[in-house]
Structure 1
Amino acid sequence: MPTLPPERPDGSADRAHRDRRTAESFGADPERYDRSRPRYPDALVERITAGAPGPDLLDVGCGTGIASRQFRAAGHRVLGVEPDERMAAFALRTGIGVETAAFEDWDPAGRRFDAVASGTAWHWVDPEAGAAKAARVLRPGGLLALFWHVFRLPPGIAEAFAEACRRAAPDAPFDVGAVRDREAGAQWSLLDAAAGGIRAAGGFGAAERLRFDWERSGTREEWLDRMASSGALTRLPQERAARVLEEVGAAAEETGGDLRADCATVALIAVRAG
């Protein structure tokens, strides 16, 4: 399993947690979010399960419970923490226990865990405060496992999405141009910001970086469904988001047929010191 080389952060990832408007916008349509977001690689779930000293797992920013359900199926006792009440309500309906709070403000009430995991959500957490909180709630030898999907959109789709987003949201507090090639450093900077927070907080050993490659195939409608659940669009008024999807849909029509993209899931795993 290849590890990732260190990359210098561009400074944007460690500021994302301050953008609460986007962070708490995904619950506008939790059903679409849950059906369109890909699941995490089995190999990643197995790596975390094998490394954790016990079954108790805390899922930070659990959203609709996508990762939580995978960890539950692997034998974990899962508790989710989620700031958006709408997302938390969806996860609860799937049988995941969820407490509604921002992780930095959440009260563990003396509970301890064998793993703290966060799937495509840790960038909405203050990297140093979040790592310090994780260190407090983890048992010695417990894992802090942070992971994100990396998408390289099909040719023509990335350009259309970036340009349409730039016109629809010129004041957006994120670099929409990064969607042209998400593997060109955008997600690596998330790992760097998270690793910096872990080092600053203390209490952990050296963080390990992992990468799991996979391919995503889908129809035009499935790709548009996925894009509609992205932070680039969930914070926009509905009519502006619809215009973006219309433009991207037109570009997708030109490609015809099945749309394929190379993807990866990147992970940062650190062990709580004894």
Structure 2
Amino acid sequence: MSLIPRLGALLALFLLTACAPSLHVMSFNVRYPSDQGPQPWAVRRPVMVNLIREARPDLIGTQELFQRQGDDLVRALPGYRWFGRDRRGEHADEHMGIFYRPDRLRLVHSGDFWLSDTPEQPGSMSWGTDLPRLASWGIFDTRGARPHRFLFIDTHLAHREQDAAARARAAALIVGQLPVLAGDLPIILAGDMNARPDSGAYRAFVAALADAREHAARRRGPKMTFHDFTGVPDRRIDYLFTRGFAVIAAETHTYHQGSVYPSDHFPVSATLRFTSDRRPN
């Protein structure tokens, strides 16, 4: 391509992204609501509320969320709603709860599938995992005069050292579901992947999607995300992956109050802008 057509294409992309709506999205392993130990939910809850209130994401994919945590959060943050089922298809265990701001987004469709050989079967397990794992998803429209439609998926992969092959299989399953759920829509995938960037699971994701932090124009906060309530992270396992977006900024949030952290993971967020003009029909 000669210089003039290339400059024209770049100018067209700049104008499209400059006029397109932006999204602020977050992935957050919130840690289950233990009432025991030095960091019980009652102590962490107001710190988490303040973090979300300050960050103001439009959309949050959570992991390890129990229903009472989700209800606590929307009670304290009435500008949000949440949905999702737990790992057994009900509401008594851990959810991949998806929170969104209805003033910014309209939920069109939602659903879930299990990370197994029978993804339509609630609570199903495969590949030697010790717990059911799932992905929850929603199709959203942005609100405003020029709405854009996109797919958001939230997941939590198997956690044990010996589950590396299962994580890779789960990642391949999720990637395989993208054409079914999204077609050519833009995509955001959030999750605690329990997988580092040198893993098979990570390679499966980046073969189809972009790692938001790696593609961000600006970055803030540490690359590592799991800190075990110490404030000193030692591994990167929490991610946002995208398709059809320019990543304006990415951040790892280290907010805490004194020695109290909202979770044993730092949440990660990204500010995104649509790069296509795909609209609701």
TM bucket (normalised to shorter chain) is 0.3 to 0.5
Greater share of residues in strand: 2
Greater share of residues in helix: 1
Structure scoring higher RCO (CA < 8 A, sep ≥ 6) equals 1
TM-score if structure 2 supplies the norm length? Answer: 0.34
TM-score if structure 1 supplies the norm length? Answer: 0.35
